[in-house]
Structure 1
Amino acid sequence: MNCARRSCNLFQSDDGRQAMDGTEHLAVRREGATLILTLNRPEARNALSLSMLVGLYDGWLAADADDAIRSVVLTGAGGAFCAGMDLKALAGKGMAGERHRDRLKADPDLHWKAMLRHHRPRKPVIAAVEGPCVAGGTEILQGTDIRVAGASATFGLFEVRRGLFPIGGSTVRLQRQIPRTHALEMLLTGRSYSAAEARDIGLVGRVVPDGTALDEALALAEQINACGPLAVEAVKASVYETAEMTEADGLAAELARGWPVFDTDDAKEGARAFAEKRPPVYRRA
């Protein structure tokens, strides 16, 4: 994995698990085949900072570049997921992480890639939400694939209440992910939603007891990690690729994406393992 000029140097953690350097506001570690990215600015309820955005983008790139990583879990530290943009910074008081300003100059699109607006990781991304996941937090959430929330988690797009626009993609994505009437209610009222409401409208898939969202997300990741990685990545790509196609075009695209998977050694290994009643050993081949 080439992480030149980035903060994702691999090292071994004390317990023998691989981990990676992040930034002061983004913690990164490996647990088996899962990369865990933790928004780590709990004193500000993990409000977005430049350091956090740089760390996030580097994490997405690291996951895509390392074939040993089969899934990514995104979570937050200190009982919060993400409270969105740092409004003090927006008011002109400076965004935390100014030392990373050169990265943003070199790639003016970096913050949108970090927030999954202009970048889609090829590995499945599971969100583990505790506490507030609002404004930019809810916008990042829409770029994830599977979503687990603690019972006391809260969601919402508060931008209109501040005279702002949810420019992280919500006016486009939200209506494609939940019914339009719910999307417009969330966007136009700027009100807060409970985890149960978020589940009921389809914004999250599971609600679990407080403090267990990460464990649940890691359990889901383990199930994904046990599957054929080439198949998993092809399925994810097909779902997004065909989302806005006609049924006929989508089915044709599915065949083009899916047939090559059957020709892989991994597909043969899956059939062999089933016949031999043993776990498969996939080699991405």
Structure 2
Amino acid sequence: MGGTEHLTVERRGATLVLTMNRPEAKNALSLPLLVGLYDGWLEADADDSIRSVVLTGAGGDFCAGMDLKALAGKGMDGQQYRERMKEDPDLHWKAMLRHHRPRKPVIAAVEGYCVAGGTEILQGTDIRVAGETATFGLSEVKRALFPIGGSTVRLQRQIPRTHALEMLLTGRHYSAREALSIGLIGNVVPEGGALDKALEIAEMVNACGPLAVEAVKASVYETAEMTETEGLKSELERGWPIFATEDAKEGPKAFAEKRPPVYKRA
């Protein structure tokens, strides 16, 4: 199991929990954090016993974005990770889910600050839970910067364009309730409860047929920009083979026998 000094990895049954662990900097992105994140996504993809991933932050915050001191040229923690970045210049974008989509569902558990790069990473997750005191926003324009982690493309596809543009062009912060109202997140829970709720959702995902879950996730993203006719054709191509699996026989059989199903990814 991987991890770095700024990213901890833990197994909770069939769920891989990735925790951004730089609380003294509100989990601002560092080289060790980015490398750890990317390795975590790869681990989840490679291990068939992992059925879901929960992404969260330590110390009461999710992620406050890029380390601005580093961006200003004042150095960044984890010089030993620079070789990884040289080998794969795209690694940071993969870590932030801009250029990589894990095949397993990713559930974000947000407390505290989830701003700038934090909100950009959030847009690469599939299901989003936040504590009621969480804060969201894309503050790049306030610093004369550009939210280049994908937000000018993704945000308008995930929430209404007027809300996306207001968030992008004002740089203001949004409360968890406001983020819920515009559709940026799906659940708001009492402060400190985001991880528990995310793990609860993960358990529901884990109880489902893993081949079906992965095919459904893939179909949703594959068809997002297709016409309805193209999307329906693609859905059949992705979904029909699922009915021929052993798991597809096990699900109805377990239901008829009034017992929990035992799925084998077969």
Q: Scaled by the length of structure 2, what TM-score is found? A: 1.00
Distance in 1 separating the partners of 2:97 and 2:77: 20
Which secondary structure does the structure 2 equivalent of 1:210 belong to? Answer: coil
Task: Name the counterpart of 2:221.
Answer: 240
Q: Is the aligned partner of 1:212 residue 2:217?
A: no
- Structure 2 alignment gaps of length 5 or more: none
1:159 shift after superposition:
0.2
- 2:176 aligned with 1:195, yes or no? yes
**SS of the residue 2:50 aligns to:** coil
User: Which 4+ residue blocks in structure 1 deviate beyond 6 angstroms?
Assistant: none
How far 1:97 sits from its partner (Å)? 1.4
What is the 5 A alignment of 1:157-196? Answer: 157-196=138-177
- SS state of the match for residue 92, structure 1? coil
Choose the corresponding residue for 2:51, options 41, 52, 70: 70
3-state DSSP class of the match of 1:62?
A: helix
List per-residue Cα deviations over 1:42-79 (Å, max 9, x = no partner).
00000000000000000000000000000000000000
Distance 2:174 2:77 in 1: 28
> In 1, distance between residues paired with 2:252 and 2:176?
40
Name the amino acid aligned to 1:138: T
Is 1:147 the counterpart of 2:115? The answer is no
**2:7 aligned partner:** 26
Q: Deviations over 1:213-242 (max 9, x none)?
A: 000000000000000000000000000000
> Whole-Å Cα distance in 2 between the matches of residues 59 and 267 of structure 1?
29
Q: Does residue 89 in structure 1 map to residue 70 in structure 2?
A: yes
Match of 1:9 in 2: none
The secondary structure found in structure 2 opposite 1:197 is: helix
Show the counterpart of 1:103. 84
Q: CA deviation at 1:96?
A: 1.4
Q: CA deviation digits over 1:156-185, x for unaligned, max 9? A: 000000000000000000000000000000
Q: Is structure 2 residue 29 aligned with structure 1 residue 44? A: no
Aligned-residue RMSD, C-alpha: 0.4
Aligned to 2:94: 113
Q: Aligned-pair distance for 1:21?
A: 3.5
Distance 2:234 2:147 in 1: 32
**1:271 Cα offset (Å):** 1.2
**Any residues of structure 2 matched to 1:117-128 within 5 Å, and which?**
117-128=98-109
**Does 1:137 pair with 2:122?**
no
Count, aligned residues: 266
Scaled by the length of structure 1, the TM-score of the pair is: 0.93
- Corresponding letter in the other structure for 2:7: L
Q: What per-residue deviation string (whole Å, max 9, x for no partner) do you get for residues 180-217 of structure 1?
A: 00000000000000000000000000000000000000
SS of the residue aligned with 1:74? strand
Q: Which runs of 5+ in 1 are unaligned?
A: 1-19
Residue identity in the other structure for 1:111: H
Counterpart-to-counterpart distance in 2, 1:161 and 1:35:
35
Deviation of 1:98 after TM superposition, in Å, equals 1.3
C-alpha separation in 2, matches of 1:95 and 1:183 = 31
Write the distance in 2 (CA, Å) between the matches of 1:251 and 1:166.
Answer: 33
CA contact (8 A) 2:132 2:190 kept: yes
Q: Match for 1:22: what amino acid? A: G
Task: Provide the rounded CA distance (Å) in 2 between the counterparts of 1:95 and 1:175.
Answer: 32
Q: Name 1:55's counterpart in structure 2.
A: 36
Instruction: Determine helix, strand or coil for the equivalent of 1:117.
Output: coil
